[in-house]
Amino acid sequence: MTTAPEALRQALVLAGISQAALARETGLTAKHINQIFMGKAPMSVDVAIRLERILPAISAEDLMVAQVRSQVQAMRALRYEDRELSRTPPV
């Protein structure tokens, strides 16, 4: 399963541009683009649409689905961990 940052990296390579150029083209800061690529900043629908306009290999819908899928998996893992910890008897 591809995450949004992985999909973005692949699309960036196919487009042959840098993150800095992508930032300029989208009107976003280079820092914000980098945080999205590192998975540290969530992507809004507006940002996904800006990215799809510059990176023809990816759609805004695919980016948003990948992001939500990752968020759901992270929350499930957290909830599972919480349940397991609550079942563990104190030492």
For 66-91, write each residue's pLDDT tens digit: 999 988 998 999 887 766 656 656 55
Q: Which domain holds residue 58?
A: 4-87
Q: How far apart are the C-alpha atoms of 59 and 50, rounded to whole Å?
A: 10
* 33 to 2, 69, 76, 80, 81: CA distances (angstroms): 18, 20, 27, 31, 31
pLDDT at position 44, please? 96
Q: How many domains is the chain partitioned into structurally? A: 1
CATH number assigned to the domain comprising residue 24: 1.10.260.40
Query: Given pLDDT bands bounded at 50, 70 and 90, which one contains residue 30?
Result: very high
pLDDT at position 90, please? 59
pLDDT at position 51, please? 97
pTM: 0.80
